[in-house]
Structure 1
Amino acid sequence: MCTGSLKRACHALWQALRTTHAIFHMLALSCIIISDLLQSAHGLKDLKIFVPDAVIMGNAATLSCQYDLEKAQLYSVRWYFGQEEFYRYVPREAKPVLVFNVAGINVDMANSDATSVTLKGVTRDLTGSYQCEVSEDAPLFHTDIRSAHMQVVELPKDEPVMKVEKKVIGVNDNFHAACSVGPSYPPANITWYINGRKIYKTPMQRITLDAFEGSPTYSSLDIAPHSQVLQGFFQAIPKYLPNILLSCEVSILQMFHKNVQQRIALSMAPPTTVSPNLLGLEGSKRYANGDPDNSALTGAAQCSSSAVGVLLLAVATLTVAQL
């Protein structure tokens, strides 16, 4: 009798525990759902970061962080360069703005607030990743973070220069040109064009590019006589002006674009030969009547010259005999 009562009591307790566990699980799940709903309805959302892709060295750069708190209150905005915090805005503090000492960073306090921070006189060392972290106030303290990359560009001090080996080329001539620009960061890119058409590297069109940080950027262009691009221009000479416009375009991201141009004449003239006149193999000018001006040097005249020579020799011999 007691054994049966004990079993029934244990079963009832087990059922109660299962019910309690189910109720606890439902309560926990409800809390999570409610918390998510409250957070989505009234918390931090739509965090976006705006950082310049590139900025010229020495200029100012403004970094912006846009967000929507809806009915929540802002707790803090923090800015990081890499892993180092350099700017913090906490509106509830007596001094809302706090700047940390990070090498190379100079914050413009007058132009920095809860949504943006301005850096003065940026240097090459400030190329890297920037992060904006926003936290809402109690009770949730929800926090979100976004990051973006900024490139600090050092422009070359001198204008790009192009040199060509020949300003007039024939149908069978090799063509060589070079384009260079001073040191920059990052190194410049050089692209070649003929009459506005980009020149690509092929077995007949060799292009080299030497670009190293801290050194001038150099590119050369070598085109073989029978390359498709040159042959096309030579074939078009009867219809168009016999010259081409060679261009080298120097660019650094979207911050620097320079174009150097040179007109190259195309010649259909046959290969140059040396005139026999220059070698002394022909007589001088002809007379107006068409007779050669070297008529005095005919065979008869040459014989007369020989007779004169014999006569002079005889005279000389006679004179010696008389002596």
Structure 2
Amino acid sequence: MLVKIVVGVLFRILILTGIFPLQLTRIHIPAYKFRGGSAQLECEYELKGARTNPEESIRGSHPRNRYIYRDDYYNDGDSDGQGGSGSEKLYSVKWYKDNEEFYRYVPSANPPIKSYKIEGIRVDTDHSNHSKVTLRMLTLKSSGLYRCEISAEAPSFDSVQGDGRMDVIVIPKDGPTISGDSERDSYHMGETLELNCTSGRSYPATTLQWYINDNLVLEPSMLVSYPRFQNPHGLITSYLGLSVVVGPHHYVNGEMRIKCMASMSPVLWSGGQESVLQHPTFDHREAMLLVRSLSWQVRSKSPIILTAVAIYLLVIS
């Protein structure tokens, strides 16, 4: 542990003093993107003599873009890696997804830009250059760990790299729906009410919760769990059942309000702790119940007390 701390301190000192001829100043990889959209990945760097803010050389632009590596290869004639008094020159910029190269920029090549076909990756070369690469028509297979690697020419042959994860998400087109025993139209006190809640197709999967009179149902004996269903193209449908023995305590002013809520909340990680940034989009679907003295019926046009609600909390960079 002590060795790691010492190495980290020395590395920071070297960064701040500008000894390294090549600096990775900023890496930006969006955390979440919609399927079918585009994403711009950025990897900014400074060669010797052009660095303006040494603090930025060890800081990413996003909590998930926090990994920066350095590989130094010096030739026999220049052991200090400075390459004399001349300015460093860029050799190449390479991009990888899950350790598979898909984009390369080499200024000395003709043409300088070259892209490689891998699953889930479509490079827009017209909007890509030495410091950024644009991806279009994102799919679920576009999710993964992205890494840029920047290399300098001789004499330093310095190399730096940084990475970050991007996930592609799909919001359900439909809100959750509530279903039950369609053959029964009434329940007596002491009988069991059984309902099912089904989410819309999404990725990642939505989380379903039941509420009775605005109180979250936490009792395991009242909840019925079902396996999630994997739809074509990777989308997921979630299910959750509710089983309630009907009693007088379930009624407030003669009504029992039952709600199913579906939520999907991408999570950002910072320093090992979760923090969720919320930008809600609401989608409401409703079913109705009519309460009577010792029984109640499910009707489409009775007062609203059975509600399915979808809340999708998004963080899109």
Q: TM-score range by the shorter chain?
A: 0.5 to 0.7
How far 1:132 moved relative to its partner?
A: 1.3
Q: Deviations over 1:44-99 (max 9, x none)?
A: 34554332333232222222223444625443221011222111123344433221
Q: 2:48 and 2:218 mapped to 1: Cα distance?
A: 54
1:217-254 CA distances to partner (integer Å, 9 max, x unpaired)? 3221112346xxx83x53xx3xxx43244322234444
**Alpha-carbon contact 1:129-1:150 (below 8 Å) kept:** yes
Matches within 5 A, 1:143-222: 143-156=159-172, 158-165=174-181, 172-203=190-221, 205-214=222-231, 216-222=237-243
Decide whether aligned partners of structure 1 residues 61 and 218 sit closer, same or farther in structure 2, where only a CA change above 3 A counts: same
Partner residue of 1:246? 258
- The CA distance in 2 between the partners of 1:77 and 1:43, in whole Å, is 16
Q: Deviations over 1:240-281 (max 9, x none)?
A: x432443222344449864434454555x3579xxxxxxxxx
Q: CA deviation at 1:212?
A: 2.9
SS in structure 1 at match of 2:37: coil
Please state how far the C-alpha of 1:210 moved relative to its aligned partner.
Answer: 2.5
The equivalent of 2:105 in structure 1 is 89
Identify the match of residue 65 of structure 1 among 40, 43, 50: 43
Amino acid at match of 1:213: Q
Q: Secondary structure at the match of 2:18?
A: helix
Provide the C-alpha distance between the structure 2 equivalents of 1:108 and 1:142, rounded to a whole number of angstroms: 28
Q: Select the structure with the greater relative contact order (CA < 8 A; seq sep ≥ 6).
A: 2
State the one-letter code of the partner of 1:224: V
After superposition, the C-alpha distances for 1:290-311 in whole angstroms (9 at most, x for unaligned) are: xxxxxxxxxxxxxxxxxxxxxx
Aligned pair count reads 229
Structure 1: which 5+ residue stretches go unaligned?
Answer: 1-31, 273-323
Q: Which has the higher helix share?
A: 1
Q: Post-superposition shift, 1:107?
A: 0.8
CA distance in 1: counterparts of 2:151 and 2:142, whole angstroms: 25
Give SS of 1:243's match. Answer: coil
More strand by proportion, 1 or 2?
2
Rounded to whole Å, the distance in 2 between the matches of 1:103 and 1:271 is: 57
Contact 1:249 1:260 in 2 (8 A): no
Contact 2:223–2:240 (8 Å) recurs in 1 = no
Q: TM-score, normalised by structure 2?
A: 0.58
1:108 CA displacement = 0.8
Summarize deviations over 1:122-158 as a string: whole Å, max 9, x none. 2232222221112234432322222222223345555
Distance 1:196 1:250 in 2: 14
Deviation at 1:183, TM superposition (A): 4.2
Query: RMSD over aligned Cα, in angstroms?
Result: 3.7
Q: 1:174 to 1:149 in 2, by over 3 A?
A: same
Identity %: 27
Alignment equivalent of 1:51, drawn from 24, 29, 33: 29
Describe the shift of the 1:256–1:96 C-alpha distance in structure 2 as closer, same or farther (beyond 3 A): farther
Q: Is the 8 A contact 1:47 1:145 kept in 2?
A: no
Q: Pick closer, same or farther for the CA change 1:256–1:147 going to 2, 3 Å.
A: farther
| Counterpart amino acid of residue 61 in structure 1 | A
Q: Tell me, in whole angstroms, the C-alpha distance in 1 between the residues paired with 2:38 and 2:260.
A: 31
TM-score, with normalisation over the residues of structure 1?
A: 0.57
